[in-house]
A and B are shown apart, each in its own frame.
Chain A
Amino acid sequence: MEYMDLGHISLLIGFLLILVGFWGVLTQKNIIKIIVGFTILNTGINILMVSLGYVKGKTAPIIDNAVAQTGNHDVSASVVDPVPQALVLTAIVIGFGVTALMLAYAMKLYKAKKTLEINKFNDLKW
C-alpha cells in the first residue's frame, strides 16, 4: 500500500496494542494477567505518542556527523519531533511506578486470601 510509511505502521501497532491491552484488562480473571494487560495498554499508548511525532523520512533527534545540519547545528530540516519523545520518557517512568504499585497490591491481596482470582475478592459486593 502506498500510505504505509513508518508513521502509519507504528500508529497501527500502537492502536492494536491498546485494544489488546484493554481486552486483557476487561476479560482476564487473574490479577497478574490484568497487570500485564495494563502494561500492554501502556506500551501501546507510548508507541502511539512517539509515532505522532514522526516526520516523514527524518532521523532520530541526536546530532552527530551523520545528520544533515545547517549553520550552528541547526537540524530542524532533518530530525523527527523530539518533544513527544521527551513526553514518552516521562510516561514510561509513571507507567513503571504504577506497575510497581499494582504488583505490591497484588502481593498484599495474595497474602490476604492465598489466591489471585479476582472473583474471590467479593467482600465489597452485595
Chain B
Amino acid sequence: MLRNILIALVILVMGYMFYNTYSNYETRTELAGISQHFAAQGADEVGAANLVTAIVVTYRGFDTLGEVTILFLTASIIAFFLKLKDDDFEGKIDHRETSELLVTASQILIPIIFLFGIYVFMNGHLTPGGGFQGGAIIATGVALMILANPNVKINYHVIHWVESVSGVSFVIIGILGIVLAGGFLDNKIFGEDSLGEFGTLFSAGAIPIIYSFVGLKVGAEISNILNKYQKSQKEA
C-alpha cells in the first residue's frame, strides 16, 4: 500500500514538472547558433542533401565512430555474458513447428529485405535513412530467417569478417581524411572541389562510403547478437 502511494506520488510530481514545462513551452520560430550554420552552409560544405547525415557522418563523425564502438561493446558483453561454448553450436532448439505461411513468405521476403537495407544505407546522404537504419533493416531479415527456422545455421564466420573489415575500413577512411583533406573523418578525400553533383548517388565525398561501411557493420553486429540469442537457446 505504502509502495503504491509512493509510486503515485513520484508519477504525480513528475507529471506536475512536465506540465509546467509544457505550459511554458513556446515553439521556436527560427533556427539559432550552430543549427543556423548547418542549415545555411551544410549543403555547400559537405555536399549531402540530408543535413542530418551531414551532421552524423561529417560534423560529428567522431561521435558516430563511438556509437559503432558501443554496438560492438554490446555484442561483446552479450557474448561474454551468455557464456557460449563450442558444443552449443551442435545442439538443437526444441520448438513448435513453424507455420507454412511464415516459411514460404520468408523465402520471398528475405532477399527483398536485404536489398531494401542496402538501398537505405547507400542513399543515406539523399533520403531519410542511413547506415544504422539500413543495418537494422538487414538484421530484420536475419531475425525473420531465425523465426522461420529456429535451427537455421547462420555462418557466423562471414558475419565476423564483414564486421571487422567494415569497422577497420571506417577508421582507414577517417585516417585518409587526415592525409588527403582537413582532418579525421573529413569527407573531402577526393579533393576539395570534387564533391560530385549535389543530390546524386555519387556525391558528398566519402559519406556514402562511410555510411555503407557503417550499415554493413551495424547489420553484421545486430545479426551477431541475434545469432548469440539463437545459440543460447540450443540444448547441448
A interface residue numbers (CB < 8 A to B): 5-8, 11-12, 15, 18-19, 22-23, 26-27, 53-56, 60-64, 72-77, 79, 81-83, 85-86, 89-90, 92-94, 96-97, 100-101, 103-105, 107-108
Contacts and interface: CB of A to CB of B under 8 A. Distances in A.
Contact of A90 (B67, B82, B199): B67
Given A23-B11, A63-B51, A82 B225 contact: no
Interface in B78-108: 78, 81-82
B50 A62 contact: yes
Contact of A83 (B15, B34, B128): B34
B116 interface: no
B232 A61 contact: no
Interface string B5-38: 0010011001100100110010111110011101
Interface residues of B, number: 57
Given A74-B40, A74-B44, A90-B63, 8 more contacts: A6-B27, A7-B25, A54-B28, A61-B51, A76-B40, A79-B31, A93-B67, A94-B67
A26 B229 contact: no
B14 A76 contact: no
A61 B50 contact: yes
Interface string B128-152: 1010100010000000000000000
A76 B31 contact: yes
A15 B18 contact: yes
B74 A101 contact: yes
Contacts of A64: 49, 199
B109 interface: no
Given A104-B82, A107-B232, A97 B70 contact: yes
16 contacts: A8-B22, A8-B25, A19-B14, A56-B28, A61-B51, A63-B43, A64-B199, A75-B39, A79-B31, A89-B52, A96-B74, A96-B136, A97-B73, A100-B74, A103-B229, A104-B81
B34 A55 contact: no
Nearest to A78: B39
B74 A79 contact: no
Nearest to B18: A15
Contacts of A54: 27-28
Contact of B81 (A62, A94, A105): A105
| Residue from B35, B70, B198, B228 whose CB has the most chain A CB atoms within 10 Å | B35
